[in-house]
Amino acid sequence: MQALLRCLLSLAFFSTATTVATKHHKLLLISFDGFRYDYANEEPMFPAFQYLNANGVRAKYLQGAFPTLTSPSHMSIATGLYTESHNVVHNCHYNMSVGHQGSDFLSTLPVNYWWDTGVEPIWIAAVNQGLKSGGYMFPGSYATINGVSATKKVLQKQFMPYSQRSWQNRISTVVGWLKDEDMDFVALYFEEPDTLSHELGPDSKRVRYDVKSWVSNTIMHLLKKVEDAGLTDDL
- The set of catalytic residues is 70
Architecture of the domain whose range is 17-60+119-228: 3-Layer(aba) Sandwich (3.40)
- Taking only the tens of pLDDT, the chain with its 235 residues reads 444 333 333 333 333 444 444 578 999 999 999 998 888 888 778 999 999 989 998 888 888 888 889 999 999 999 999 999 999 999 888 877 766 677 788 888 999 999 999 999 999 999 999 999 999 999 999 999 999 999 999 999 887 778 889 999 999 999 999 999 999 999 999 999 998 998 999 999 899 888 899 999 999 999 999 999 999 999 9
- Quick one: which of 38, 35, 32 has its CA closest to 61? 38
Longest dimension (CA), the chain: 74
pTM over 0.75? The answer is yes
- Contacts of 77 by beta carbon, 8 Å cutoff, 6+ apart: 29, 31
- Indicate the SS3 state at residue 155: coil
